[in-house]
Chain A
Amino acid sequence: QQPVQSPQAVILREGEDAVINCSSSKALYSVHWYRQKHGEAPVFLMILLKGGEQKGHDKISASFNEKKQQSSLYLTASQLSYSGTYFCGTEIYIGRNTDKLIFGTGTRLQVFP
């Protein structure tokens, strides 16, 4: 049930763009995105619910394609502060809330000057 994230790692120069994908084999109710810096706790970025709504957070946005059971995180004009590991967390849709997330294995993003 663990969602699959791709790519596993991304290296960027400041100002470049990146896309991180999260795919599930199950129908999804919601997708969360978190960023974790080395040695720290994960920090919430955004949530996307059933309905395909696209959310934004500064220059980071995301989309949710329910039919494909996929979500993508878009980082535009990357900054040094974007470096870290990005996790998607998915709630599988079973007709009611399950109150729990299943996280992907993460995508490590490094931004260099």
Chain B
Amino acid sequence: NAGVTQTPKFQVLKTGQSMTLQCAQDMNHNSMYWYRQDPGMGLRLIYYSASEGTTDKGEVPNGYNVSRLNKREFSLRLESAAPSQTSVYFCASTDRGPIGAQYFGPGTRLLVL
């Protein structure tokens, strides 16, 4: 099992460019999450999907969109990147909602110039 995988590992964008961060899990988990991590801010929830076909906003959804493509895949899209979106993005999944361990992917480091 690969667990949770994320692509790309690192990306540099110019302000205004768009990109999609990909996440896939092979653990048959129902719930998937996107977080961003900035120095001193901890992990902040951007969007989550409690089950296939549903998505909900987290703490910091502005400037992002998500798609739960199927049970395995959950993508995060930046339509028009801004320097404030420079961060490390983590995808996570769990099989029991809030009472299950969240398994994190390796992260995507994004730099917006």
Contact B42 A105 (CB under 8 A): yes
Contact B101 A44 (CB under 8 A): yes
Contact A104 B42 (CB under 8 A): yes
Q: From B40, which residue of chain A is reached at the shortest CB distance?
A: A105
Within 8 A of B (CB), among A51-95: 87, 89, 91
From A2, A43, A100, name the one whose CB has the most chain B CB atoms within 10 angstroms: A100
Contact A100 B106 (CB under 8 A): no
B44 within 8 A of A: yes
Partner of A29, one of B44, B98, B103: B98
Q: From A49, which residue of chain B is reached at the shortest CB distance?
A: B99
List chain A positions with a Cβ less than 8 A from chain B: 1-2, 29-30, 32, 34, 40-44, 47, 49, 87, 89, 91, 97-106
Q: Give the chain A neighbours of B104 by CB distance below 8 A.
A: 41-43
Given contacts A42-B90, A44-B103, A49-B99, contact A87 B50 (CB under 8 A): no
Partner of B50, one of A29, A34, A91, A99: A99
Measured CB to CB, the closest approach of chain B to A23, in angstroms, equals 14
Measured CB to CB, the closest approach of chain A to B37, in angstroms, equals 9
Q: Give the chain A neighbours of B42 by CB distance below 8 A.
A: 2, 87, 103-106
Contact A100 B90 (CB under 8 A): no
Q: Give the chain B neighbours of A103 by CB distance below 8 A.
A: 35, 42-45
Partner of A32, one of B44, B58, B102, B106: B102
Q: Give the chain B neighbours of A43 by CB distance below 8 A.
A: 104
A-B contact pairs, 17 of them (CB 8 A): A30-B98, A32-B102, A42-B43, A42-B102, A44-B102, A44-B103, A47-B99, A47-B101, A91-B98, A99-B31, A99-B98, A100-B56, A100-B58, A102-B45, A102-B59, A103-B43, A106-B42
Q: Give the chain B neighbours of A87 by CB distance below 8 A.
A: 42-43
Q: Give the chain A neighbours of B45 by CB distance below 8 A.
A: 100-103
